[in-house]
Amino acid sequence: MPFSFHVRAFTPKTRGLAAACLLTLLGACSSAPNTPYYQPSPVVYYDFEADKHGDFNAYMRHTRQELSKHRVPLLPDQAQQEIDQVAPFVLPRPSHCGAATKGVLLVHGLLDSAYALKDIGRVLADQCALVYGLLLPGHGTRAADLIDIHRAQWLEAVQFGVRALSQQTPDVTLVGFSLGGALATQVAWQDPRVKRLVLLAPALQVAYPLLSSQAVWLRYLRDWVDLDPPYMSVRYQSMPTQAVAQTYQLSRQLRANLSQRPLEQPTFLLLAAQDLVIDAPTSLAVFSQNMPNPKSQAWVYGAMDKPSPDARVRQIRVADERQKIVSYSHVTLPFSPQNPLFGEKGQHKECGLHIGIVDAADAQACLVSTDNWKGEIGTNNKAQKPFQRLSYHPRFEDMMAAMSAFMAQ
């Protein structure tokens, strides 16, 4: 879920006023261009009906057919390659593995696609896990397919993935990023077939919940809260109001559920302290209060304002002047430094102009520089220029080693 409501750049005294002004402006500036990308698919293909998918392979074939019909490609001459990037998948395992004893279901974030967790999945598949990558309903085609989405459709897709994977192996781990982390937690809370959870920056509470909550009524007035031209094949750049509303309502209901009955399964929580998109302190509090399994652990990259007294929480220093790293961002955790799109030498460089809190001159300097400072856009980085959002995990191998050890318990 690489979206924010663009208010972190303001001081605490001005954020309330900025939020109110933004909601007023949204009513006047949410007219989308008259192009297919901003118009829902002519057929509502994303009503997830688990019964029409016999198994995960059938689901993948069906989803690819729907992507071929409804996806608006970024580059028409590369339409098939883009489908290959975003589509659900089963990752190959080494020939020596034999029958799978562990299964992993990867659940991506809002606006993302199955691509988002493939780096993590490849490492686990190489260790002989059976890895399924899900594509959430409304994703992978065009941003407008989230205008009428409902969280129940997302949850049903995850539930289907758990059922399909549990038919192959009794040991099922859910790995969820952002929105996918909230969905994974809700499904695990209901389904004991899920043996453990790995949550990367989960949307247990969105940043600025008061502002996000306004999308619940605003969706009846305006389809969009954020409009940006598409420039990335594996992730939407525009945000429908309904998608924000459904994410907010899911996280609120999930916290209520956990307060009534704590999560039983072991959970490995990973957070970036300076996250622009989710509320890291609240997520950590939910972990400490409602995820009591003694095998659970949390890693927090960066300094929190109030250190957690929970002995299961590990705080990791990330500032590194030699590497010009100031902090970790919301989109840091899933991607390897070698990722061809978001890695250290990746094709995409996020300089913050579309987030609305970086001026054009600074963004342009970031785009042309090969020696940027890196971290979360909108945090205390005014002295570090040029500055780009850190879009890969500098310590990816360490995280994966810890994840593998956690899954081996």
pLDDT digits (tens, 9 = 90+) for 120-163: 999 999 999 999 999 999 999 999 999 999 999 999 999 999 99
pLDDT over threshold 50, residue 23: no
The 3-class secondary structure across 353-404, one letter per residue, is CCCCCCCHHHHHHHHHCCCCEEECCCCCCCCCCCEEECCCCCCHHHHHHHHH
Report which listed range, 28-32, 47-51, 277-281, is most confident: 277-281
Tally the C-alpha atoms within 13 A of residue 407's C-alpha that lie toward its C-beta. 27
**E strand map for 137-277:** 172-177, 194-200, 224-226, 239-240, 267-272
Mean pLDDT of the region 261-272: 98
Percent of the chain residues past pLDDT 70, beyond the cut: 89
As given in the structure block, the two tokens for residue 385 are: 């220029």
Residue 353: per-residue pLDDT: 65
Alpha-helical regions (H) of 240-317 = 241-260, 280-290
3-state secondary structure of 139: coil
Residue 144: per-residue pLDDT: 96
Instruction: Determine contact, residues 247/213, Cβ cutoff 8 Å.
Output: no
Residue 238: per-residue pLDDT: 94
pLDDT over threshold 60, residue 2: no
Residue 14: per-residue pLDDT: 35
71-124 confidence digits (pLDDT tens): 999 999 999 999 999 999 999 999 999 999 999 999 999 999 999 999 999 999
The β-bridge partners of 301 are 272, 316
Name the residue with higher pLDDT: 339 or 21: 339
Instruction: Determine contact, residues 71/79, Cβ cutoff 8 Å.
Output: yes
Span 12-318+396-407 CATH architecture: 3-Layer(aba) Sandwich (3.40)
The 3-class secondary structure across 312-351, one letter per residue, is CEEEECCCECCCCECCCCCCCCCCCCCCCCCCCCCCCCCC
Name the residue with higher pLDDT: 127 or 25: 127
Mean pLDDT of the region 323-347: 95
Task: Output DSSP code: residue 32.
Answer: P
Q: Find out whether the peptide bond into 240 is cis, omega within 30 degrees of 0.
A: no
Instruction: Determine contact, residues 369/349, Cβ cutoff 8 Å.
Output: no
pLDDT over threshold 90, residue 32: no
Question: Taken in order 174, 179, 183, 186, is the CA torsion positive or negative?
Answer: positive
Residue 167: per-residue pLDDT: 95
- The whole model's pTM is what? 0.93
Residue 8: per-residue pLDDT: 37
Residue 385: per-residue pLDDT: 82
Give the pLDDT band of residue 50 (cuts 50, 70, 90). Answer: low
Residue 358: per-residue pLDDT: 67
pLDDT over threshold 60, residue 402: yes
Residue 189 CB contacts under 8 Å (≥ 6 apart), including other chains: 254, 257, 258, 261, 263
The β-bridge partners of 387 are 373
Residue 1: per-residue pLDDT: 59
Q: Can you tell me the distance from the alpha carbon of 360 to that of 370, in angstroms, rounded to the nearest whole number?
A: 18
Residue 46: per-residue pLDDT: 66
Report which listed range, 45-59, 258-272, 317-331, 352-366, is most confident: 258-272
